[in-house]
Structure 1
Amino acid sequence: MYKIVLSLLFTLCVFANTYEDAMKQYNKGEYKKALDMLKVLANNGDAVAQNDLGVMYEVGQGTNVNYKVSKIYYEKSAAQGNSDAQYNLGLIKKGQKKYREAVALFKLSAKQKNQWGEHYLGIMYQHGKGLKRSYAQAIKYYKRSISQGNYLSQSNLALMYEKGKGVNKNFLKAIELYTLSAKQDYFVAQYNLGMIYYLGKGVPQDKKKAQRLFQQSCNNGHRKGCSNLNLFKK
């Protein structure tokens, strides 16, 4: 029994070090080395490594893009209860318009308080995809995600306050949430916040602040942000 315990501890340490080493290689940009290290772990049932491999195959890091293999690794990881894999697999189902399956996966992820599972479940409730539309439920899950600093949920809920979707219009609340999201460099929030200041919606008009926000949005690749800079050309 003593030998078995020692052997198990040694095995766990080897796997832990292997994952740590894989992440070191990944962070250095040595994606092929990281991929090979993660495969060893994944083939031994490590759910985190399986999800990471799913991501790498999906985006083509250390390998060619392979959505089929990516999905297989997400499925293996999600089956073990990995909340990241659950929402990643949910996104695949959402892209395939298998909305009910996507919702089921987002719910599993959200139950584990995964901010992305919460965020995407909020989206499904907001737009009535795979379940009955409920702004109240959308707001609930956005708020849960926001409590973990999720910039997309911040921006989405801000838009609901700006447009009065499921809530009374509240420009000050919208500005508060857009600002949090914009500070995380989310170009949509930067653009929308810029529009609020440019038009003076609920606050005094501030074109200098609007221009600065449009520039930030443009710098982050938002075409409308770039286009709106023309408003300030004399």
Structure 2
Amino acid sequence: MMIAAKKVPPKFMKKFLFQLSCAIGFACLSASAWSGIKEARTAYAQGDFASALTQIKPLAEGGDAESQFFLGELYEKGVGVVQDNKQAMVWYTKAADKGNVDAQFKLGSRYSARGTSTDIKAAVLWLRKASLQGHADAQFELAKLYSANPSPVHDDSAAVLWMRKAAERQHGQAELELGKFYASGKGVSKDSRLATIWYRKAAESGLSEAQFLLASALETGSGITQNIPVAVEWYVRAGNQGDLKSQIRLAKLFSTGQGISKDESQAAGWYMKAAEQGDAESQFQIANLYDKGEVVPRNFAATLNWLKKAAEQGHLAATCNLASIYAKGRGVIADPPAAVSLYRKAADQGYPEAQYNLGWMYANGLGISTDIVQAHMWFNLAATAGDKDALKNRQLAETMMSRAQLETAQALARDWLAKRR
């Protein structure tokens, strides 16, 4: 026996047909939009921005979210159209309102860059929407906003939550920052072991800062078994990427042979890399190497060059050594007044060797008028810091001074010390 089909009421049939037609229309529109977006992106990649605009604008005006995002990018970059950040924000907002995750992230980043309290809150709104869709970059940026302090949205717990989500998606920067959270105890219980675990993940993704931090942990045994040779391997990976701290640490490890074979040549190489990046201490060390001529060929011009670079950055030992070169005329025309000026710079910052030498210049009238009171003052300060030669010369100067001169010199030394406490 055949079962008769029930008759569908006309009003339900009309509703069904309307929904079906909408679905078919949407599918056709989506297929058309996809084809148009593909052609627009091909034109864009080929540098044909005008064609890209022609293809994408009707689709964006028709409500396609991806096209709206693409059009926003064209306005932001000013390709195919006159650059217009306001129009870019308009189209990004249209796309973001339709759930386009890239537009939501873009809006969040743009609002975040503005930095006002209102904009930061808007940034959190859009970044959160993108984050909830699993956008790792958005999760990372959202975590940074929550982590910032002062901030209208500061929340360490939320920062950890979103940083962890981004890190679990293998976002390298998030892995690094999560490691720092555990190292400092920010928003979580301090845990050097977990810090090292996250540093390693970030280090393996190639981040030089993470490689340095992992190397530091391995060198000191913080949160991980101490292993200096492996630490050196990570320092090398970071140093080869230009990480200054790693280059400096490698130079010191190779020069001292701490936990590894001593290698002055390797040390010199890493000091040079760090010096070329502007590290004053490394510049000073390179100057000394060229001056001694044991590891690298002796080169006084290079010595002078690197001492000047370090001294210009306020490196006290370099300043004092440079002064000595001018005082003695070693490799250059003697210039005692220049030497006095350099000694004074270092002496005024409390460098005992410079204080002693400035006292000597005053005592002997080199580059400056002889002044036994000033000589005693500087010998006194250097002697107070433990310089034995200064102590002897202070005693010698006292034999040439009147009681009034001695009292004046001692008062000058007391005043100098008082001003620096």
TM-score (norm 2): 0.46
Stretches of structure 2 lacking an aligned partner (at least 5 in a row): 1-16, 252-266, 269-421
Matched-pair contact (CA < 8 Å) for 1:197–1:209: no
1:94 alignment partner, one of 112, 116, 127: 112
Stretches of structure 1 lacking an aligned partner (at least 5 in a row): 219-224
The residue aligned with 1:127 is 148
The residue aligned with 1:49 is 67
The residue aligned with 1:13 is 31
Matched-pair contact (CA < 8 Å) for 2:75–2:85: yes
Deviation at 1:122, TM superposition (A): 1.6
Q: Describe the superposition over 1:52-77 as per-residue Cα deviations: whole angstroms up to 9, x where unpaired.
A: 34345445666675433322221221
The residue aligned with 1:229 is 247
Matched-pair contact (CA < 8 Å) for 2:146–2:158: yes
Q: Tell me, what secondary structure is at the counterpart of 1:45?
A: coil
Q: Tell me the number of residue pairs that the alignment of Structure 1 and Structure 2 aligns.
A: 225
Matched-pair contact (CA < 8 Å) for 2:69–2:95: yes
2:181 is the alignment partner of 1:160: yes
Q: Tell me, what secondary structure is at the counterpart of 1:113?
A: coil
Q: Distance in 1 between matches of 2:152 and 2:81?
A: 33
The residue aligned with 2:126 is 105
Q: Distance in 2 between matches of 1:93 and 1:170?
A: 34
Deviation at 1:24, TM superposition (A): 4.1
- The worse-fitting range, judged by mean Cα deviation, of 201-210 and 191-200 is 191-200
Q: Distance in 2 between matches of 1:8 and 1:135?
A: 44
Q: Distance in 2 between matches of 1:11 and 1:78?
A: 19
2:99 is the alignment partner of 1:81: yes
Matched-pair contact (CA < 8 Å) for 1:90–1:103: yes
Note closer, same or farther for the CA distance 1:37–1:151 as it changes in structure 2 (3 Å cut): farther
The structure with the largest alpha-carbon Rg is 2
Deviation at 1:226, TM superposition (A): 4.2
Q: Describe the superposition over 1:98-126 as per-residue Cα deviations: whole angstroms up to 9, x where unpaired.
A: 21222222222223333233222222222
Deviation at 1:157, TM superposition (A): 0.7
The residue aligned with 1:221 is none
Q: Describe the superposition over 1:192-229 as per-residue Cα deviations: whole angstroms up to 9, x where unpaired.
A: 4344445553332322321222323x2xxxxxx14642
1:42 counterpart letter in structure 2: A
Deviation at 1:9, TM superposition (A): 4.2
The residue aligned with 1:148 is 169
1:130 counterpart letter in structure 2: P
Q: Distance in 1 between matches of 2:219 and 2:78?
A: 40
1:212 alignment partner, one of 220, 230, 237: 237
Matched-pair contact (CA < 8 Å) for 2:196–2:223: no
Deviation at 1:176, TM superposition (A): 2.4
1:21 counterpart letter in structure 2: E
1:171 alignment partner, one of 192, 199, 218: 192
2:223 counterpart letter in structure 1: G
Q: Tell me, what secondary structure is at the counterpart of 1:169?
A: coil
- The worse-fitting range, judged by mean Cα deviation, of 114-123 and 56-65 is 56-65
Matched-pair contact (CA < 8 Å) for 1:194–1:213: no
Identity of aligned residues (%): 23
2:197 counterpart letter in structure 1: E
Note closer, same or farther for the CA distance 1:214–1:38 as it changes in structure 2 (3 Å cut): farther
Matched-pair contact (CA < 8 Å) for 2:167–2:178: no
Q: Distance in 2 between matches of 1:20 and 1:95?
A: 31
Deviation at 1:155, TM superposition (A): 1.7
Q: Describe the superposition over 1:127-147 as per-residue Cα deviations: whole angstroms up to 9, x where unpaired.
A: 25332x332221111122223
Q: Distance in 2 between matches of 1:191 and 1:81?
A: 39
Deviation at 1:34, TM superposition (A): 4.3
Matched-pair contact (CA < 8 Å) for 2:212–2:246: no
Greater relative contact order: 1 or 2 (C-alpha under 8 angstroms, separation 6 or more)?
1
Matched-pair contact (CA < 8 Å) for 2:75–2:87: yes
Note closer, same or farther for the CA distance 1:24–1:208 as it changes in structure 2 (3 Å cut): same
Give the RMSD, CA atoms, in angstroms: 3.2
1:159 counterpart letter in structure 2: K
Matched-pair contact (CA < 8 Å) for 1:190–1:214: no
Q: Tell me, what secondary structure is at the counterpart of 2:112?
A: helix
Deviation at 1:42, TM superposition (A): 2.0
The residue aligned with 2:57 is 39
